[in-house]
Structure formats: C-alpha cells, structure tokens
Structure 1
Amino acid sequence: MIKKVTVISSFLVLIVLFQSPSKAEFIDTSQDSRELQYQDTIMLLLPIDELIKKYYSRILTTNPTVYPYDIKVTKVQRIGQFRSFHFIYTLEVEPTVGPHIAVGKDRLVFEIAPTIPSLIKLNKFEHLSTYELPPNWKHILR
C-alpha cells in the first residue's frame, strides 16, 4: 500500500514539475492598446459580420457573431511601391454562437485601395473548418 502511494505521489510530482509552459498569448483588454485599436478598426471598416452571416445562414438557424478578439490578421501585403495605399489583408476568424461556442474557422481576403469604388473588395472567402457543436446546441443546425 505504501509503495502504491509513493509511486502515485512521485508520478504526480513529476507531472507538476515537468509541465511545458503554456504558449497562450494574453491580451489585456482592460486598457486600450495598439492591437485592440487595430482589431476594433478592422471590425468597423470591413463587412466581416455580413459575410459570416451570409455563409452560415445555409448551415445554422441562428446568426453567429465575430468578436474583435476572434480576428487574426495573418498577412498584410502592400501592393505597388513603398507608401502606396493599396493593400491585401488576409484574416482568419472564428464565428461563435451563444456563450462563445465557436462554430467554425474562415479565411477572408480583402483588397483595400482608393481605386476600388467602395475602397474595400472581398477577394476570397474560404471556409476552413466546421466545429462540432455541443449536444445542447445541435438544434440550431439546418
């Protein structure tokens, strides 16, 4: 009996001591920051919510929401010479329903330039993955 307790205790101590550190990135949302300003500006200027609602209306009976902190800017490319105002923004978003239940992951590629009539053009919408909903949320599937 003492041997089992010693082995289990030793195993638990090893697990606690040799855990790899978490790589999760903490974003302080209690104070304004450059990153939060960019996320909020992107939400304000780009028609992300409209595009997400349009796509997921074929799959879900309720509209998902994209929160600013669920937008990841994966690439920004300047088209043309230095200091031109023509950009390609590649974003990845994770729309959610209810109490922040992610329903999928999507990639949106926007072109932003003064030569485009509305300044913004969606070049590509790519649905990357669909996430499994918990049993108590399956009723919103079409």
Structure 2
Amino acid sequence: MRWSPRPHPLEPLAVAGEGRVATALARRLLAEADERLATWEGVAGPGVLVLLGASASLPWVDGAVYLGREDGAPSLLLPCALAPSVAASLLERALLAHAKGSAPLAVLPASRHVVSVEAARPVSRATLLAWLEEGPPGGAS
C-alpha cells in the first residue's frame, strides 16, 4: 500500500512519535503545567507515544505525525496529510480484522505500525518520566 498527499488535510485529533520523535514529544509535554497535561490523553509503548486531544491544543514537535479521522473509517486515526492508496473503509476493515489491540487504531505509515489507543488515559508527569526512564528501544533517546 502506498500513501500520497491528501488534497484536503484531516483535522488533527492526535499526534504520534516514534523513537527520537517520541522522546522529543515526551520532553515537550513535560514543559507543560500539570493542569494542561491532564487535558490530554495518551498511550505509550516501547519507542512510541501517541497523544490525543483537541486540535488547537496539540503540541508541535518536528517529525511527529498528526492524525485525524476520515468519515469512511471512524475506527482509524490516519495521517492528516497523507491518504492511503486504498479506500479508508477497506483499510479499516483489514486492520480491525488483524489488530492486536482494539479500536481506535493509530496508523503510522513510515514504520508500518498500528497502535491501539483504546487504553489512552489522562497524561501525567509521573507516567511520562517513567516512560522516558525506560527509554525507546535501540537507545534512540
């Protein structure tokens, strides 16, 4: 499957980073006040961090992927600036059939990873610090 530029970007509902970008995103979040952190939800795993929130509140991090929803695939968070070469509804059906986690699913084309964000919880400073201490695989911190 290929990805190409969207003629009209999706509204961002999430931002995701992997490896060094995930680390940069976590550090960017730690610069925020605790009250602001609590307005976002997130999910993290080895080397990946996905933050969900209101479009205008999402932080900018160089290299991050901003994700939004397409009407035909409400269970997916797709790149705002890229469209899949197949209908989003077909992609959704295929990913849900093979998903290890539950929907919604964040689709990260560069790495070909699909991340379940069903377990997203309010972001806390302690959780971010613990995730950073674990470090992304391969020492990409």
TM-score, length of structure 1 as denominator length: 0.25
The normalised TM-score by structure 2 is 0.25
User: Between Structure 1 and Structure 2, whose CA radius of gyration is higher?
Assistant: 1
